[in-house]
Amino acid sequence: MNTYMEEYKRKLVTPEQAARLVPSNSIVDYGSFACKPVDFDIALGERTGDGLQNVSVRFIGTVLPVPQVLLKDPEQKTFQCFSWYFTAIDRKAGDFGLVTHLPFNYHEATGLAYNPEYISKWPDVWVCQTTPMDNSGCFNFGLGNSHLRGIALGAKTVIVEVNENMPLCLGGSDEYLHISEIDHIIEGTNTPIFALPELPEATPEEKKIAELIVAEIPNGACLQLGIGSLPNTIGTLIADSDIKDLGVQSEMFCDAYTKLYKAGRITNAKKARDINKSAYAFCLGTQETYDFINGNPRCASYTVDYTNNPTNIALNDNMIAINNIMEVDLLSQVCSETSGLRQVSGTGGQLDFVLGAFHSKGGKSFLAFTSTYKDKEGNIQSRIKPMLTPGSVVTVPRTVVHYLVTEYGAANMKALSVWGRAEALINIAHPQFRDDLIKSAKDMKLWSKTNRIPF
């Protein structure tokens, strides 16, 4: 450490000094998820109205506290904000026109960060919360490896905001920056790292969906789980089962994995790569999960092009990918990220894992959803629709969809005809809506007199 202390001291700046380094007509990147800067953001927000103009601020998965560049500049006179993946904060800000979505497939993020063809998109200023410097002069990205190193190295000015509460997440690869690669260091106020609250108990419908999926998971399977009560419920069911030797290759390390480790279900002994280690690109969970992952050599933090590359995913036998969706139409086109024109989340790595799991030997991709939801007026609506809600985007094309699962069953879409897909979907729809869906299928000329032929 003594070797680097003089350089460390030379690079120390206050949040206010760091914020002054942001010029007009520039791009600022805010790390990712729970690694977004806090003290720097407060200082940058205070620059609203001081003559600074046309600054683009990019988030990925915004979490609390709400960025001050949003709160201090509701008229967008200084800052224009963008997000690669919408969270509840991004959705709310998006409703007021304060945040614009940046669509992309998650596994491509690292390539974009390193590819000089996209140099015009590289940030002028990159800022991220990290762990304190270690004895080797390195600052660990903690919970948000993802694509951070690549985009930092492409930035004109690199700033880290040190937080002693950031978990140390071992690699893997590219999980750090060296002090020689950093221009300025902020010693932050060590605010608590954002952690998810305990999830509410799963609904009966979610429990049934979980049961259907868990029944398809063999010993030695490699898991990818998303966020929410369904993955947590699946984790609980597996923990209480006799399934063994599970592995993990996932974009996100979530609470369910912590539960499975503690139940002895995860060994990673059967994986093609990273044997004995869980590979992930970022972590978002409760404090219990952060404590578990901190300095844990059984977990490996990687860039997202490694964890989410469909080819890498497919190398693991019995790859099981489980993700949530919002709606599906009778053509089997899946929307997982918008409600009409309203951006709700993002493509993220869903398409990556749907592709990779199908091409895995024995692998399966499950897109799960409750068959109904309540609209703003409290009316029950079907998530299986004749056609996607106008304005909704296709997250997973019909040619790629594998299994679709509701509380009424699981349907394998592969090798089915157009009307075969419609029939399979109607069979797992809520009974209240099946007759209407059949009528719609006939009107759309998807129904056939021979629809009992199994394809």
Catalytic residues: 251
> Is residue 401 a contact partner of residue 332, using CB atoms and an 8 Å limit?
yes
Cα(21)–Cα(155) distance, integer angstroms: 13
Cα(313)–Cα(335) distance, integer angstroms: 22
Joined together, the tokens standing for residue 12 give: 């120390």
Cα(68)–Cα(201) distance, integer angstroms: 33
The three-point CA angle 96-102-107 to 5° equals 145
> Is residue 277 a contact partner of residue 299, using CB atoms and an 8 Å limit?
yes
DSSP H helical segments within 12-116, as ranges? Answer: 15-19, 39-45, 68-71, 88-95, 109-114
Cα(333)–Cα(160) distance, integer angstroms: 42
Which burial class, exposed, middle or buried, applies to 93 when counting CB atoms under 10 A from its CB (0-12, 13-18, 19+)?
buried
- Report the Cα 161 to chain-centroid distance in Å: 23
Cis peptide upstream of residue 297 (ω within 30 degrees of 0): no
Phi first, then psi: give them for residue 15, nearest 5 degrees: -55, -35
Cα(267)–Cα(269) distance, integer angstroms: 5
Q: Mark residue 147 as left, alpha or beta (left: phi above 0; alpha: psi -120 to 50; beta: remaining).
A: alpha
Question: 3-state class of 319 per DSSP?
Answer: strand
Cα(280)–Cα(265) distance, integer angstroms: 17
